[in-house]
Amino acid sequence: MQITFLGTGTSHGVPMIGCECATCRSDDPRDRRLRPSLLIRAADGTSLLVDAGPDLRAQALTHAITRVDAIIFTHGHADHILGLDDVRRYNSLMKRPMPLYADKVTLHEITRMFGYAFNPDTPKGGGIPQLEPIEVQGPITVGPLHVVPVPIWHGTRLILGLRLGRFAYLTDCSAIPDESWALLEGVEVVVLDALRHRPHSTHFSLEQAVAASRRIAAAQTYFTHMCHDLPHAATNAQLPPGMALAYDGLQLTIAD
């Protein structure tokens, strides 16, 4: 199973518009962060997209993503769903509607935001994405990929983290419910939200993410959803062994 980080930034992205801080002006390509998204590809080519933010088109072109079998959404905030209109290109490539897996609240947000795509009175054609919403009520299977939902808190909202075998992805996380820790037992590679050093009401700070990583006890932890407060090289130099900031374009191979 191959994991590609398509975006590791916040809703603003990095660099942030109108900011002259050292991270936003950095020449290190690892400090350029698009909105958060992940591509999971199985050995047979089956490809699962995690979230479809406003940078989807650029991400797909950068990484030559010509196949997406399904999309799973962690939640319905703008930086995770606003690329859905670009799915119409995958309708043409895959020659079928795109399955969208999400919880009930997120599906409602998607159908409200993209009402034209779900309205039966909208003239159909290449300009309208063909979307097949599917409510996540337990584990899901996309080809050989088996996904176990891991409920996590994003502020006061319960959203979806994901586990696939030895790998777990917990973006936009501010707390892990007691019942979800057991779902993370045995994970060898985990990705955790780490917004910045200062506390935030809806995201882990870097220090909170490090503490969660230690409790999960995975062999390797990567942090994502980082704002410009965390320059890549300087932050990595201060992290404990087995922990690192992810970056756009990072690829991991996880044994099945």
Q: Are 171 and 200 in contact (CB under 8 A)?
A: no
Interval 149-183: pLDDT, tens: 999 999 999 999 999 999 999 999 999 999 999 99
Strands 220-224 and 243-245: parallel
> pLDDT at residue 256 above 90?
no
Question: Is the link from the previous residue into 231 a cis peptide, with omega within 30 of 0?
Answer: no
Phi, psi of 68 (to 5 degrees): -135, 115
Total structural domains in the chain?
A: 1
The Cα angle at residue 170 between residues 39 and 59, in degrees rounded to 5: 30
- Ordered DSSP codes for 202-244: SS--HHHHHHHHHHHT-SEEEEESB-TTS-HHHHHHHSPTTEE
Interval 85-105: pLDDT, tens: 999 999 999 999 999 999 999
Least confident of 46-50, 105-109, 126-130, 206-210: 126-130
Tokens of 102: 């999400």
**What is the pLDDT at residue 98?**
97
Please give the Cα distance from 227 to 168 (Å, whole number): 21
List the CATH number of the domain containing 39: 3.60.15.10
45: Cα within 13 Å, side-chain hemisphere: 4
Interval 175-216: pLDDT, tens: 999 999 999 999 999 999 999 999 999 999 999 999 999 999
Interval 13-32: pLDDT, tens: 999 999 999 999 999 999 99
Interval 227-241: pLDDT, tens: 999 999 999 999 999
**What is the pLDDT at residue 126?**
67
Those residues with Cβ within 8 angstroms of residue 220's Cβ, 6 or more apart along the chain or in another chain: 188, 189, 190, 242, 243, 244
Outline where the chain has alpha helix (H): 56-62, 78-81, 87-94, 104-113, 115-118, 178-181, 206-216, 232-238
For residue 51, the enclosing domain spans 2-253
